[in-house]
Structures are given as structure tokens and as C-alpha cells.
Amino acid sequence: MIREHHLRLRVQGDRPITVSEVTAFLPGAHKLSPDPSERAGLFVSDKDGAPLGYAARTMPWSRDITGYSGPTDALIVFDNDERALGVAIRHSYDTPSHVSDVSGDYYFMERWNGRSWDEISAIDDLNKAEIYGVSGASRTSEALAWSLTERAQVGKTDASSANRLRVRWQDVALLTILLSGCVFAFVKNPRVQRWRLPFSIAVFIVLGFVLGDLLAQSLLIGWAQSRIPWQQTPGLVLFAAACFIVPWFSRQPVYCQFICPHGHAQRWLMKYTPVRWMIHFNADTKWSAKTLPVLLLALVLIVSFVDLPFDLAGIEPFDAYLLNAAGKATIAVAIIGLVAAIFVPMAYCKYGCPTGLLLDFLRRRSAHDKLSTRDAVALLFLIGAFCLAQFHTPIQSWLFER
Amino acid sequence: MIIRLILIMALVAILAGVLLPSIAEKRLDQNVRGTLLTVQEALQKYHVDEELYPKQTPMSGAQLIVLLTESGHLESVPRNPWTRAVYSPEPSLHDRIRYRTDELAETYSLEALRLDSDEIHHVIDSTEHPSLE
């Protein structure tokens, strides 16, 4: 439902290249004329009709190349010798803070300058081509790079390099973390369990600070809106799928309890905080606090269907581990969650995490055949999503139009 | 029960408060886009009649709207998307639309700048080609 809805919004919001965008690279640009060849770009000419260069956008060819949570539309402009003059991000469905890191990284954005159309189309290994991902936004920058190579391959007959299955060390690392998490969840032998602390520390560092691939609403909604990038990031897709499927079958909270770095951080705080500091909620406060993740899931649904300019990475703390890519809201949520965990054990997991709630719902409801309040809430969400998709136009008019 | 209700209402209010700025941002975005499209339509009509675009360059949004209204190509004066007041000829800091044309007045660009900076928020120009999508 989310995918269909966003496909419709994307087609409505198509953004053809304008002369003004091209003048940033070719100041004398006056007219753009469509190239009838299979390259399907635009010839750029000056006011006397003399050719100045060539411009192309990566969309719609790159719509299946997802970075962290969505595809990116970029403009690439060439001079008359078919050498790239520059690349600009036009629009992106990826996480806004990552996109802003990429567009602000001049080293990455200028690595394309001077390369010819054929050189760009021939790239099949970014490192060999000396194009290195932007630290903290590596998936977004690499997706942009593959979008540009994919675009340059339009009109060529050989198979697209961007859509080939690509297994990188990050994918192997994620699957290793997942398998190790499963071992700790299912093998209760003390000789295995004594390695749990070193494993938690390793996961905290590798998954949190190096990979940054924590399960989050921004990731899941991004995939729901565009597509699941199993070719570009097979490890992350399998990792996410397993984190949902394993608790459903086994009722073991593998991700929340054994893998999530933010969970580990709170667990350590709980372990080393004096018991006298603990605050005990009464039943009313506990019940009300547990509705926060439900309300956050409702907010995710509203933002996604109403198509609001709201960065969902800001409602969860998970991007905060990518130190140079984290937004202020994400850092604030992370710090507040950790401070709260000093006084209320696992405060964020229990009373703030919408992704944890989703995983927990699958785990708890997997073996039940009677309807509960949780099922009623899930049904309400489904009805809400259906209504938001069906009545999108009147809702938009009511909220945004004059 | 009342305590639970109050706490949930407080949470809903906080989350609504978090969402309100993005609703306001999108509303402004739609209004700016709507105003630019209205002016663009009038510019196309002007071009059909006069065979060129208004020559005076650069022009503020208010100046262009007055010109197009007086020439009969803009039927109703649009509202300033930033103030929601009807455009008037007086210069205003809240008029963030800029019109530019080339020396032969054959092309134009209409830019809407952000209210707090000179960053371009939206741009429409006389590019003529069908959508490639």
C-alpha cells in the first residue's frame, strides 16, 4: 500500500531538468533540447543555438537504486568534449541528513568532474575508480555513484552493473552479527554465554559506529516507499528480514536483546547504576508511557502517507552512532534515552522505541489465536493507512492548500 | 483513568507540536509553487500576445504581478505565499519572488527564494521540453 501510494506521488511530482539548473555548470545555457537517441538526455545550447554541452538526470533509470532508505535523482552535466563538468543532487527519497552530507562533500561530488560519459558507464568497482563513499553516508553516496553509472549505461546493451548482486564486507559483517546473535539467543550453554559481553561490545562498536546499519523506521519506511535493495545491500536486507522472521517463529527477541547497540548501551547503564537511583512508575504512568511508541508509529504512518517533509531518522536514536552524519533531533533522542535509562531500566526500549514495538508485536502475537488489544491497534493502523491512501487528495487540500 | 487520559493527551500534543513545523513548511512550499505556476501561466499568455516576455529585468514578484495584471494577462492578483496578503506594488521584504529575462526577452526564470536567506526555494523557467519520465 505504501509502495503504490508513493509511486503515484513520485509520478505526479516528476521534475524535468530546467535551464536554471544547468546554468550552474554552463553559465551560457539558454535552451535544452531532447536527445532523440537512446541516451535520452538533453542537448544544451546558448542563445545563438551553438552547442554548449549535454545534461542528463539519473531518474527514472535510477529509481531502483536505493541508498539507505530511498533513491536519489541527480543531474550530471557534460561539456562539448563529453567531459563531466559537475554533478548535483536534484531530489532524493533517501534520509535527508545523509543526502545533505553527500551534497556537502565536495571531494565526493567533484570526483566525477573531467570523466567522460564512457568512463562513467564503464565503472564497475567504485574503489578502483577512486570514488570513495562519504563517511557516515556511505550507502547514500554509493547509491548516487551507482545511479550515475547506471544512467551512463543507458543505451548500451551490456548488463547494468548497478543491478548486479553485490556482496561487500559490510554484508558479510552483518550476517556474522546476526548468526552470532542467534547463537547467543538459542544456545544457553554457559561456555557460549560467557562470550556474550565481548560480543555485545564488538557489536556496539561495529554495528553502531562502523556500519551504522541499525534497524529503524526511516529504513523500513524508505524500503516500503521505494523498494527493497537486495542487489545493492543483500546483507542488510537479509539481516532485517531475519530480525523480523526469527522472533516470529521462535519468540526470541534476537535483535532487541542480543544485537541492537542502543539496547546494549542501556543494559550496561542498568547494570552499573546504583539501585537506589531507580524510579518506579505507577501503573497509570507505565500504561501511558507504553503508548508513546504506538503514537510514534502513528506519526510514521502519517508522515509517510501525507508525504510530509519530516526526517523520520529524528524520532529514533539509531543514526546518532554515525557521529558525523547524525542530526540534532537524533542525538537529542539518543541522549534523552540514555539518561532516562539511568533511572528507569531500559527506558527507551520499553517506552520509546517504535521499531522495538513492531518486532515485539510479531514476537508476542506469533503463537496466539485470540484477538488482543495489540491486534486491535494493528487493525486500526491498517484502517488508518487505507484511509490516508484513499483520501490523500482531500487531506492534502485541507492541510496545505489555500 | 483520568491520569492516563491526561498523559496520553500530553503525548499527542507533543507529537502534534513536532509535526506542525513540517506541515507549515509543506503548506508554504505548495503556496509558493501555486503562486509561481499562476504567474507562469500569465507569462505564457503574455508571450502569446506580445511574442516576448516582459523586458524589464530583474523584477520583484510584486512588480511582475502588477505588470501582468495591468496588461490583462493575470485575471486575479495572487496572494503573497509568505504573508497571505494580496500582492501590492509596494516593495516588501516578504516578496521573495524574482523574475529575470535575457536581453531579447525570449526566455525567463522565476525564482522563489527562502524567506531567511538567498537560497533558491523553487525555480521555474521557460525550458521547453516534455517530461522525460
Which among B3, B104, B130 has the least Cβ separation from residue A284? Answer: B3
**A13 CB within 8 Å of a chain B CB:** no
Dihedral in degrees, nearest 10, Cα atoms A99, A101, A106, A109 = -30
Alpha carbons within 13 angstroms on the beta-carbon side of residue A247 total 24
pLDDT band at A163 (very low <50, low <70, confident <90, very high): low
| Alpha-carbon distances of A348 from A200, A264, A310, A315, rounded to whole Å | 18, 12, 21, 12
pLDDT at B130: 41
A292: CB partners within 8 A, 6+ apart: A351, A352, B11
Burial of A188 (0-12, 13-18, 19+ CB in 10 A): exposed
pLDDT band at A68 (very low <50, low <70, confident <90, very high): confident
Which among A34, A288, A310 has the least Cβ separation from residue B8? Answer: A288
pLDDT band at B75 (very low <50, low <70, confident <90, very high): confident
**One-letter identity of residue A50:** A
Q: Which of A73, A48, A54 is nearest to A62 (CA)?
A: A73
Average pLDDT over residues A230-256: 89
Phi-psi category of residue A112: left, alpha or beta, with phi > 0 → left and psi -120 to 50 → alpha: alpha
Contact residues, A window 253-292, toward B, CB-based 8 Å cutoff: 284-285, 287-289, 291-292
User: Which of A331-345, A350-364, B67-81 shows the highest mean pLDDT?
Assistant: A331-345
pLDDT band at B124 (very low <50, low <70, confident <90, very high): confident
User: B102 with B117: CB under 8 angstroms?
Assistant: no
pLDDT tops 60 at residue A162: no
Antiparallel, parallel or unpaired: β A42-45 and A72-79: unpaired
The total of other beta-carbon atoms located within 10 Å of residue B92's CB is: 16
Tens-digit pLDDT profile for residues A252-267? 889 999 999 999 999 9
User: A326 with A97: CB under 8 angstroms?
Assistant: yes
A277: CB partners within 8 A, 6+ apart: A342, A343
Contact (CB<8Å) A288/B107 = no
**One-letter identity of residue A246:** V
Percent above pLDDT 90 for chain A: 38
Percent above pLDDT 70 for chain B: 95
How many helices and strands, by DSSP H and E, does chain A display?
19, 5
pLDDT tops 60 at residue B129: no
pLDDT tops 70 at residue A278: yes
pLDDT tops 70 at residue A296: yes
pLDDT at A341: 93
- Return phi, psi of residue A344, to 5°: -125, 115
Strand order in the sheet with A42-45: A31-34, A42-45, A51-57, A72-79, A84-92
Beta bridge partners of B101: B108
**A302 CB within 8 Å of a chain B CB:** yes
pLDDT tops 80 at residue A211: yes
The pTM score is 0.78
State the smallest CA–CA distance between residue A61 and chain B in angstroms.
9
The CA-CA-CA angle for residues B51, B57, B60, to 5°, reads 110
**How far is B15 from A332, CA to CA, in rounded Å?**
15
Contact (CB<8Å) B26/A288 = no
Tens-digit pLDDT profile for residues B16-57? 998 899 988 888 888 888 888 888 888 888 888 888 899 988
Average pLDDT over residues B121-125: 82
pLDDT at A265: 95
The CA-CA-CA angle for residues A222, A224, A225, to 5°, reads 65
Q: How many CB pairs under 8 A join A and B?
A: 99
User: A312 with A300: CB under 8 angstroms?
Assistant: yes
pLDDT band at A124 (very low <50, low <70, confident <90, very high): confident
Residues of A in contact with B26 (CB under 8 A): 307-309, 399-400
Alpha carbons within 13 angstroms on the beta-carbon side of residue B115 total 10
Task: At A223, list the grid cell.
Answer: 524500503
Given the cut 0.85, state whether the ipTM is greater than it: no
| Alpha-carbon distances of A258 from A76, A211, A262, A269, rounded to whole Å | 44, 17, 11, 16
The total of other beta-carbon atoms located within 10 Å of residue A329's CB is: 19
pLDDT at B116: 80
Dihedral in degrees, nearest 10, Cα atoms A123, A125, A128, A132 = 100
**A332 CB within 8 Å of a chain B CB:** no
**One-letter identity of residue B38:** T
With H, G, I as helix, E, B as strand and everything else as coil, classify residue A264: helix
pLDDT tops 70 at residue A9: no
Contact (CB<8Å) A303/B130 = no
What is the 3-state secondary structure of B50-99?
A: HCCCCCCCCEEHHHHHHHHHHCCCCCCCCECCCCCCECCCCCCCCCCEEE
Alpha carbons within 13 angstroms on the beta-carbon side of residue A314 total 14
**B83 CB within 8 Å of a chain A CB:** no
Residues of A in contact with B131 (CB under 8 A): 14, 16
pLDDT tops 50 at residue A379: yes
**One-letter identity of residue A81:** D
pLDDT at B127: 73
pLDDT at A135: 83
User: A74 with A88: CB under 8 angstroms?
Assistant: yes
